[in-house]
């Protein structure tokens, strides 16, 4: 398992071609002619961030290895804070590349950092508490449309038989009514939570990844979904495919996380991407059949 300190240069890190070479944060001048795709790469690079949760990452890696190793090029595992190494000595059928941050980073910053090490066609942002009972990744790729920039399966919460409902544009009214009787969920989600986001690499690069300057812990998922759609890409749900979210919502139990959540919502509602997406979704609803 390779270890890379955050900020250290990796001599084997490719800086041209692939998704990493296209990422604007690397500030690499564009080529006059693009190289041919590297066909031997498996299609997905997975990014997982641990905030002291390696004991939760372990079963996730085992499930990825058991069900989806054929499509996983590598896993970029970011240790945001120091923690006991419960993965030591274990091996999987894909490489696990570690990044050990010298200072904690936010959600978006960690995944943007991981994307710089992605050379595959797809980039999967995955929570440590996602669980699989079968292969979801290969079937999800098989369903992908050419215009789809972001894919997700349906998400199940433990003990529930129905998946999480689609989410509309996030507003105070939507937050208050989404779990109330009579709530009419949209046929197509306006955004998806950041616990499972399978990005087409060139879409992620085009929009510059997560907005790590504006957001720290919450709000990044809505914002990046908005900017992905505003850039002309579609969000696509893999119907018939599901993953389990072993939900442990810190914002419901911790006042600090709740305050971060409220701050992020205010930042979302003051952003141009929010108002532009809201206008886009309204125009879609009025132009529909």
pLDDT (tens digit per residue) in 41-65 = 999 999 999 999 999 999 999 999 9
pLDDT at 4: 56
Read off the tokens for 5.
Answer: 């300190």
Dihedral sign computed on CA atoms, order 281, 282, 285, 287:
negative
- Select the more confidently predicted residue: 146 or 276: 146
Domain that holds residue 129: 2-287
Instruction: Return the half-sphere exposure (C-beta side, CA atoms, 13 A cut-off) of residue 95.
Output: 14
CATH of the domain at 270: 3.90.550.10
pLDDT at 191: 92
C-alpha separations of 211 from 13, 112, 167, 189, 197 in Å: 23, 9, 21, 21, 15
> Whole-model pTM?
0.80
Domain count, the chain: 1
CA distance 112 to 24: 11
Dihedral sign computed on CA atoms, order 25, 269, 201, 157:
positive
């Amino acid at each position: 398992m390779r270890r890379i300190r955050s900020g250290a240069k990796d001599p084997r890190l490719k800086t041209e071609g692939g998704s990493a070479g296209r990422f604007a944060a690397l500030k690499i001048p564009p080529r006059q002619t693009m190289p041919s795709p590297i066909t031997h790469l498996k299609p997905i690079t997975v990014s997982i961030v641990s905030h002291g949760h390696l004991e939760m990452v372990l079963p996730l890696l085992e499930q990825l290895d058991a069900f989806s190793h054929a499509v996983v090029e590598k896993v970029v595992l970011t240790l945001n804070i120091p923690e006991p190494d419960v993965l030591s000595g274990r091996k999987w059928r894909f490489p696990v590349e570690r990044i050990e941050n010298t200072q904690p980073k936010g959600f978006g910053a960690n995944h943007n950092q991981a994307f710089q090490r992605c050379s595959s066609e797809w980039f999967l942002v995955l929570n440590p508490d996602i669980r699989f009972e079968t292969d979801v990744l290969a079937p999800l790729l098989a369903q992908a449309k050419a215009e789809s920039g972001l894919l997700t399966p349906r998400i199940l919460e433990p003990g529930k038989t129905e998946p999480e409902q689609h989410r509309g544009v996030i507003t105070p009214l939507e937050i208050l009514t989404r779990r109330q009787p009579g709530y009419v969920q949209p046929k197509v989600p306006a955004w998806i939570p950041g616990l499972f986001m399978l990005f087409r690499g060139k879409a992620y690069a085009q929009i510059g990844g997560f907005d790590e300057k504006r957001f720290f812990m919450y709000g990044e998922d809505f914002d990046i979904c908005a900017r992905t759609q505003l850039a002309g890409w579609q969000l696509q749900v893999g119907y018939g495919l599901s993953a389990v979210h072993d939900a442990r919502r810190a914002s419901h139990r911790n006042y600090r996380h709740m305050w971060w959540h409220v701050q992020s919502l205010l930042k979302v509602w003051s952003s141009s991407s929010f108002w532009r997406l809201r206008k886009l979704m309204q125009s879609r609803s009025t132009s529909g059949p």
